[in-house]
Structure 1
Amino acid sequence: MPDRLTVGDPPITVELRRATRARRLTLRVPSIGGDPVLTVPPRVRDAVVEDFLMEREEWLRAALSRTPQPAGIADGTVLPVEGAPHVVSLAARRGVAQGPGTLELPRRAPGPALAAWLKARARDRLAARCDHHAAKLGRTVTRITLRDPRSRWGSCTSEGNLMFSWRLILAPPEVLDYVAAHEVAHLVEMNHSPAFWAIVERLYPGWQVQRDWLRAEGASLHGWRFD
């Protein structure tokens, strides 16, 4: 069976995820938008999966109608960069040009061009803030990786490798800085114990404000499509 199926007319695309620990078929619509996800246990026949989807088509359409879908990048789009709104304009150019509150993008494939520009900017900002916080602890960051996860803003391995969502570059700089401090703190405490939060407080006093911002506004960062 393919990784994606369609159901109904007009068709709805559903992502399939095989899960060895799943005990039953489960269908969910991400609150941040995007394709619905159907989790499939091992050894479930394809015909059973298809019947399951058809039986739930009405529910699926209703759930999707209540869920904001990601917005694409077009002429006149307003999106945040480091928390500040920028108006997009398309032009016959190569690369991205930033002005005060503006972004000029290539007319051909503006979304991918903007995504590449944002990722480069995110890497620069995160590397600088991680090095700053790590120096306070006498630790070293081994490597920084950027991804686009849906369930977390960052992670840290015992080898000192840090992973971040590149979409943090859309958030205010203080939010990105807090997430950098949070993950650097894991270089000392690989947990969320009181000792860990004491390190976070040392690195970024008042971090609770930025955590609350992510809880309230973080889903909006996933509300952009760059294809």
Structure 2
Amino acid sequence: MRIAPGGGSLIVTVPRGLSARKIRAFLERHRGWVEERISGAPDRVIIAPGAVIPLHGEPTLLVHRGGRLVTRLQTLPGTGGMLSPDAGNHRTSADDLFTAAGLSFDEVTPQPGGAATPDVEGVQRQLLVGGDEGHFSRRVVDFLKRLARRELEAAVRRHAETVGLHPKSISIKDTTSRWGSCTHDRRLAFSWRIVMAPPDVLDYLAAHEVAHFVEMNHGAKFWALCERLCPHTEAGKAWLKRHGSGLHAIRAG
């Protein structure tokens, strides 16, 4: 029995043929455990105009502008100018990983005319999205997937050069059981949600999977190689363990 990623549901695996009565009795015996875990799960966030989600570990306001606007990242009025397409694609020190993760996923209150004023302190940038509002969520997710692919491919390429082996393919998915995977023939798969984490966490994930090119296990040699590729391995692992469920709680509208 476990809580699903994002905390939205309970997953129970039972032996074939177990009666419904015994399953109900088992759930009743563990009611307290379930209620405690569910109450501690992160609030679900719907990708919609006026919501705030993390991007590169920084809270970002989602704004619908409509028209033929190409989705782009921009600083909020009064906080600076337009961000470049690579904004946020910088290295964060391991010491800053946890302070950068102090995000709130509270929604903001939309204002007349399509504008929005954040309720959350520290929001300094916005993701501007064009097109019909009915396609808003898909456009945001498409933007995040493209960004995740670009940044993961760059990180994988850098670490692959170090080990002298290269991936056969890289896939971007929406997995819930793992953040990344590597097959014996070096086919990599990653969750696009990792782009919402601080850059050093994404870098750790890429290094972790590239380390499997050499060590298809999680033994001592694997972790030693992972540390050599990515000195902030421990901080990245800890961040995902602590905050990963919050990224899974962000859902398309």
Match of 1:104 in 2: 128
CA distance in 1, matches of 2:42, 2:189: 27
Q: Of the candidates 223, 239, 244, which is equivalent to residue 197 of structure 1?
A: 223
Match of 1:215 in 2: 241
1:188 partnered with 2:163 = no
CA distance in 2, matches of 1:209, 1:202: 14
Per-residue CA deviations over 1:97-142 (Å, capped at 9, x if unaligned) read: 2212111224223212111110111011101110111011110111
Any unmatched runs of 5+ in structure 1? 1-25
SS in structure 2 of the partner of residue 225 of structure 1: strand
8 Å Cα contact 2:5-2:177 kept in structure 1: no
Amino acid at match of 1:117: F
Per-residue CA deviations over 1:158-188 (Å, capped at 9, x if unaligned) read: 1011111111000011110111011101100
1:159 partnered with 2:133 = no
Q: Of the candidates 166, 170, 175, which is equivalent to residue 196 of structure 2?
A: 170
Alignment of 1:1-227 (within 5 A): 28-30=2-4, 32-43=6-17, 48=20, 52=24, 59=31, 62=35, 64=38, 67-94=41-68, 95-100=70-75, 101-105=125-129, 106=131, 107-227=133-253
CA shift for structure 1 position 66 = 5.3
CA shift for structure 1 position 30 = 2.7
TM-score by length of 1: 0.75
CA shift for structure 1 position 31 = 6.0
Amino acid at match of 1:151: S
Q: Cα RMSD (Å) of the superposition?
A: 2.9
Shift of the 37–207 alpha-carbon distance from structure 1 to 2, 3 Å rule, reads closer
Shift of the 41–123 alpha-carbon distance from structure 1 to 2, 3 Å rule, reads same
Any unmatched runs of 5+ in structure 2? 76-124
- Higher RCO (CA-CA < 8 Å; seq separation 6+): 2
